Structures are given as structure tokens and as C-alpha cells.
Amino acid sequence: MAAYMIVFAKVKARDAFLQGYAPAAAKLVEKFGGRYLIRAQGAEVLEGSLESGASVVISEWPDKHSILQFWDSTEYQETKKLRDGIADVEVTIVETLAAT
């Protein structure tokens, strides 16, 4: 079952984010079997507590296990440090239902 990781980010230092964290994370997403569907800024919130203007990243993965392998990897734990202090993020994952 395909799974998706959805990230909302309030980026405080876009240049630092794009030069450090973003390319390092992208390499790992590919390495662990994910692919980006959306990477965009300027989300408009219609309801809820997120702030409008956030960046949104949606990646597709073969399954939830692949996302968790990526997320829990030593490589990604080091890469996450590159966004400390420059971005506040909310990350969710969702797995599609099996066809019946």
C-alpha cells in the first residue's frame, strides 16, 4: 500500500534551508524509496491552526515501513539537525487503504 508523508514547514531562514537541509533530505528521500509529489510554499489555510504561507512537501513512498526506515535512519537524524532553528515543521504520514 502506498504511503504519503506530508510536511508543513514555517521556514524562518529560507536560503539556509534550501542550501543545507533541503538537498540533503532530498538525497535521503530518494535513497529510501520516496519521491516528491509537491514541494511548494504559500499554503493557504482554510481551517485549523496552521499558519497560511507555510511550505508544503508531500512525498510518496512504497509503504509506511519505507517512510519509517527513512525517518528513523541515522542519516536522517543527522540531516534533521540542519533545520534546527531555521524551520518549524509538522510531519504526518498516511497509508492508503488496500483495494477491496
- The pLDDT tens digits for 1-60 are 899 999 999 999 999 999 999 999 999 999 999 999 999 999 999 998 888 899 999 999
CATH 3.30.70.100 is right for the domain spanning 3-95: yes
Domain residue spans of the chain: 3-95
The DSSP secondary structure of the chain, one letter per residue, reads --EEEEEEEEES-HHHIIIIIHHHHHHHHHHTT-EEEEEES----SSSSSPTT-EEEEEEES-HHHHHHHHHSHHHHHHHGGGTTTEEEEEEEEEPPPP-
More confident residue, 36 or 97: 36
Contact status, residue 59 vs residue 71, Cβ threshold 8 Å: no
pTM for the full predicted model: 0.90
